[in-house]
Amino acid sequence: MKDIANKIKAIAQDLLEKGEVSLFMGWEQGEFEFQTRPFFARTSQDAEKLIFNEYSIHNLANALLKFRDGQEKIGLVVKGCDSRGIVRLLEDLQFKRERLYIVGVCCPGLKDPLEAARAHSGFNPQAAPAPLAAKCRSCLQPNPVIYDQLLGEEQAPRSEGERYAQVHEIEKMSADERYRFFEEMLSPCVRCYGCRQACVACNCRTCIFDETKPQWVGRETSASDNFMYHLVKALHMAGRCVECGECERVCPVNIPLMLINQKLIKDVNQFYGPYEAGLNYVEGAKPPLSVYKENDPDDFH
Ligand code: SF4
Ligand code: SF4
Ligand code: SF4
């Protein structure tokens, strides 16, 4: 990874010195080894701080949303999951391809800095961070799907058991069992909206959950309001979730949000597929639920 980090630094410095990009996004080192965090370099001196290590896990595609209204060209590093996030932004017309210089890194699988922080917090001294972050243990696409320059050796997809095993288990439950399962799963949700903030597909300028007139979804952390939040978010993710796993990774109360996302992915795949969001960028293409044709056999509801 040291070699990749040095190459990223050199590319960023070159682009910034030549004025080919106005800023370059990567990661910098925090106080502890596991505290890698996103960093925006604006000068070649800034770029000295760029690193790439086993904790460079944050999806930088999401950070692009801060710059969607500008004109400046931005360089950034993407792993496989981040690159699918870039496709999401391009398809959603949040960014133009020509505004990006993408350095792709074939990703060997990374560790979760939040998990490491918990293990170092002193509250749970027995906890040892897993060798790979949960999202990396079942990564379908570790290699970038869109890039201007590619670094590292191509990686094989990783899989921890059958992809939809847990979804199948839940599908076998009765309606009442399912209700109880999700009630229990979602009851710890504190509605911090961290899962929304970390999500590259949650890119609406005005989010339904922030509206107050009318207030579509209550603010309580009651079962009904929590259900409403997660149901609405799920519907907005159908056919659009790029499986980057960031929502689940940042959840402070460890809600297994990927279970909901995998059910959506499985159903969209089955009804409209084969379809995997963000795996290919075709200019002008849209996710299945974002298009409607006048000769569609179904009514528009
Ligand atoms: S999900 Fe895949 S591409 Fe993303 S950090 Fe993990 S292994 Fe790398
Ligand atoms: S990150 Fe977790 S606690 Fe916060 S809103 Fe999402 S599911 Fe709820
Ligand atoms: S819903 Fe979760 S896994 Fe899907 S794109 Fe958003 S953050 Fe990534």
Query: Which tens digit of pLDDT belongs to each residue from 93-138?
Result: 999 999 999 999 999 999 988 888 888 887 766 667 678 999 999 8
Among 54, 56, 139, name the best residue to mutate to test ligand 1's pocket (greatest count of ligand atoms within 8 A of Cβ).
139
Give the strand order in the sheet containing 74-78: 37-41, 23-28, 74-78, 100-105, 149-151
Residues with CB under 6 A from ligand 1: 57, 79-81, 107, 109-110, 135-136, 139, 142, 245
Does residue 144 sit in the same domain as residue 52? yes
Q: What is the pLDDT of residue 128?
A: 72
Does residue 144 sit in the same domain as residue 283? no
The residue range of the domain holding 97 is 2-151
Does residue 15 sit in the same domain as residue 139? yes
For the CA of 196, the nearest atom of ligand 2: 6
Does residue 188 sit in the same domain as residue 237? yes
Does residue 106 sit in the same domain as residue 65? yes
Does residue 258 sit in the same domain as residue 212? yes
Does residue 248 sit in the same domain as residue 181? yes
**CB contact burial 221-230 (16+ within 10 A = b; e otherwise):** eeeeebbebb
Does residue 121 sit in the same domain as residue 14? yes
Report if residue 295 sits inside a domain: no
Does residue 177 sit in the same domain as residue 71? no
Tell me the CA–centroid distance for residue 53 and ligand 1, in Å. 13
Pairing label, strands 100-105, 74-78: parallel
- Overall number of domains in the chain: 2
Tell me the CA–centroid distance for residue 244 and ligand 3, in Å. 5
Report if residue 293 sits inside a domain: no
Report if residue 156 sits inside a domain: no
Q: Which of 151, 182, 215 is the last residue of a domain?
A: 151
Q: What is the pLDDT of residue 159?
A: 78
Please check whether residue 218 is in contact with residue 241, taking contact to mean a CB–CB distance below 8 angstroms. no
Report if residue 13 sits inside a domain: yes
Residues (pLDDT < 70) of the chain are 124-127, 129, 300-301
d(CA 140, CA 155): 10
For the CA of 246, the nearest atom of ligand 3: 7
Q: What is the pLDDT of residue 301?
A: 57
Q: What is the pLDDT of residue 105?
A: 98
For the CA of 109, the nearest atom of ligand 1: 7
Q: Which phi and psi angles does 17 have, rounded to 5°? A: -65, -40
Q: What is the pLDDT of residue 125?
A: 63
Does residue 17 sit in the same domain as residue 127? yes
For the CA of 107, the nearest atom of ligand 1: 8
